[in-house]
Every structure is written in structure tokens, then in C-alpha cells.
Structure 1
Amino acid sequence: MLLASTLASGGHASMVRADDDYGCRVVICMGNSSSNGGPWAPDTCGPAMDHLMDDLRHGRGWPQCKDSDMTVRQNNTPYDPCPAGTTAAAAGAWVAEGQRTAGARPYSGMSGFAPIGTPRPSVADLSSGYAYYGPQACVGSQVGAYQVYGDPSGDASAVRWRNGRDDGGYDGDPVTVTVYDHIVWLQPQSPNAVDVYEAGQFQTRIHY
């Protein structure tokens, strides 16, 4: 498609025949890949994209461009899609990045893993008493799992005794920590979002 492919091929928005049409300018800018800086990167795209964000925040909807096969769908999520090769961990699931220790037995527990960093719950913010929304874990391949009692992070300031006790005791159920070979953490953004598709294929998610 001429409009959406202009930037991807190194063209300039002002070279497109529909450069004076706001809706088509948005389509052109949306066609700029993230590897090339994304929709706001070209100098000519800033005003059109700022206009779009203002329209969306005020409920004016998505502008139209008659020559475009781009469509949008409203979404209600504070997170971007997980990167290729990863999937979103369940909300509240404890995860850790690491590898299994050489020679470790299948049921050796936490000592059977060489962790990278500290276990964390996906989408739960430790600093606010596990209130949503915290960073979302996008996980790779599962390495294994182990169980612990208490708070798996080991951070005494973040411990929340699920049985309501704060005297150092804990008699609740064990917490399962699943270990993955790599984890990408996505920071929450505005939950107001639109997914952009071109010819039926997902392109990007915009938060506003």
C-alpha cells in the first residue's frame, strides 16, 4: 500500500499525495516501524500523532483515510503485547529468571537453580502491597519450579502474611516460583489503548 509503505521504504511523509489529509498522515506515520523509531520518529509525524492522541483522549475516535486498509480495535490493557518468543505470565504468578544448577536433582528445590535477580510476581506491585498494576512478566521457556513458604522475594519489608499474622510466623500454603530461561518485564501504561491492524495483521498498540 502506497501510504503505509512510504516511510518503511525510506520515503518522507510530505512526498505522499495525501500529505494534507490528517487521517492519511496518521496512516503514514503508523507505518513507520519501531526499528525505525516508531510513529513519532519522522519530523513530519509529531503534529499528526499529537492530534490523534488528543482526539482519542477526548473520545473523537480514529480518523479515516479512504485509501488505507488499516483498521483499529479498542483495547483495555495497560501492557504492550509480549515480545516474540515470550508469553504473558498469569497475573500474580511468581516467576524468576535463571537456569538449573549443573547436577541438580529434579526435586532439589530452590537450591537446584541459579537465579538471575529476585523472584517477582507478575502484574503485582510489591511496593503497594501487591496492588495491581505492576510490571507484567513476559516469559520464555520454562526451566523448572520450586516452592517456598513466606514471601519468595526474601524482602522482609515486602512480606505480607496471608494468614494475617505479623509476629514472624507463617502457616499458609507454599508459594510456587516458576523459573524461566529469560523474562522481559513490561511496565504498565495507560489502560486506554488501540490495536492497529494493516490488512488484518497486527502492527502496534497505542496507549493514550
Structure 2
Amino acid sequence: MKVRTLLSAALLAGGAGVAQASDHGCKVLLCLANPQGPMAVAECVEPIRKLYRDLARGRAFPGCSMASAPSGTPAGRSWAQYGVSFYDPCPPGTSALAQGALAAGGAGASSVYTGTGDGGDGYGYDHSSLPAKVCVGRPTGETWVNVGEGDGMSTVAVTTYDNIVVMQPVAQPYHADIYIDSAFSHRVRW
């Protein structure tokens, strides 16, 4: 509701006269901030469609003079940060398992996961050939597991975690990360 109120106020203020260059960027930011989706409010449909068209044509992500930039942001500011990645951020309370690191879900766990790191930008790859991203919670100890087969089999220590989330790559890499009150809120893809 707060987003809709802010959006309505911004749109009414912008509709009182000729739209300024920054008005579009501010409308886009408000629309992207809506957790129900960037086009959930009728007033957002055209600004978001214009955003998608502009980005598809290689134009820059629009700015908003009322929003701050990521570097040196004071508390309470909001912005959108454009990016390219086939992976979503790890859920709260977890972080990406380092590339090549091994993880298990608990002592004696039969499933062992290999980390891919944060997934990099993945630009230029087909998402269907990318491995899953592994996100882990807090370490809880170690367990020993067998890796390899036949003469190449060995036993290695693997860190166990209280939570393991496996995230598949998504088909669309282009996204905007939305920050509200200087904290990551959500990712919007197109």
C-alpha cells in the first residue's frame, strides 16, 4: 500500500506539468519496488514497458534524482541497480558456497553439494548448461564422505551446514535489483 501511495503521489506530481527527464526514472523505481510486481498498478504499465523497450535497445537504466547511488548511500535511500546474471541472490540467512567447496546437510548426510560461487554474470551462456547455485546457512561441523569411484575413490572431510538451498539458473539473465531503505528488497527480471 505504501508503494501505491508513493506511486500515486509521484504520478500526480509528474502529471501537473511537462514530465521531466528524471520523472520517468522515479516512476520506474517506484513501480519496480512494488512487491506485487512492476506492472501490478495500472499507472506502472507504460513506464515499465518503456523501460524494457529502452533496455532492449541498449539504452541506459533511467536515473531518479530523488534516489541515491549505491556508493555512499545514506540510510533510508532507495535505488535500482541493473545487472546480468542467470542466478538469483541466495535467500536471507544463506550465502553462496565458494566455487569448488563441498557441503553436506548434516552428519552422515548422503548428499554432497559442490559450490559454484555466486554464479558470476553467466553472460553469453545458455542457462540450461549452467550448474545449480548452492547457498548454505551456518556451518555446524564436519562429516566424512567418499568421493570418486574405484581406484580413484578417497575419503574427504566435508563441512556440514544447518541449511542448504539449491537454486537452478533462470532463463532470463537481465535484472534490476531493488534496494529500499538502503537494503536489498527483491530482483525483477525481464
Bucket of the pairwise TM-score, normalised by the shorter protein = 0.5 to 0.7
1:26-105 paired onto structure 2 within 5 Å: 26-32=28-34, 34=35, 37-69=36-68, 70-98=78-106, 100=107
Alignment deviations for residues 99-121 of structure 1 (CA, whole Å, 9 cap, x no partner): x4xxxxxxxxxxxx3x4x73332
Secondary structure of 1:49's aligned partner:
helix
Q: TM-score w.r.t. structure 2 length?
A: 0.63
> 1:52 deviation in Å?
1.9
Say if 2:6 and 2:30, in contact at 8 Å, map to a contact too.
Answer: no
CA distance in 2, matches of 1:171, 1:184: 29
Q: Which among 132, 135, 138 is matched to residue 135 of structure 1?
A: 132
Q: How does 1:83-162 map onto structure 2 within 5 Å?
A: 83-98=91-106, 100=107, 113=108, 115=109, 118-123=111-116, 133-151=130-148
In structure 2, the residue matched to 1:109 is: none
| Partner amino acid, structure 2, of 1:53 | Y
Does 2:160 correspond to 1:179?
yes
Confirm or deny: 8 A CA contact 1:123 1:132 kept in the other structure: no
- Rounded to whole Å, the distance in 2 between the matches of 1:132 and 1:122 is 16
d(CA) in 1 for partners of 2:42, 2:165: 30
What letter corresponds to residue 95 of structure 1 in structure 2?
A
Structure 2: runs of 5 or more not aligned:
69-77, 118-127
TM (normalized to structure 1)?
Answer: 0.59
Larger C-alpha radius of gyration, 1 or 2? 1
**SS class of match (1:11):** helix
Which residue of 1 is the match for residue 5 of structure 2?
A: 11
Q: Give the Cα–Cα distance (whole angstroms) in 2 for the partners of residues 25 and 139 of structure 1.
A: 36
- Contact 2:95 2:135 survives alignment (8 Å): yes
Which secondary structure does the structure 1 equivalent of 2:5 belong to?
coil
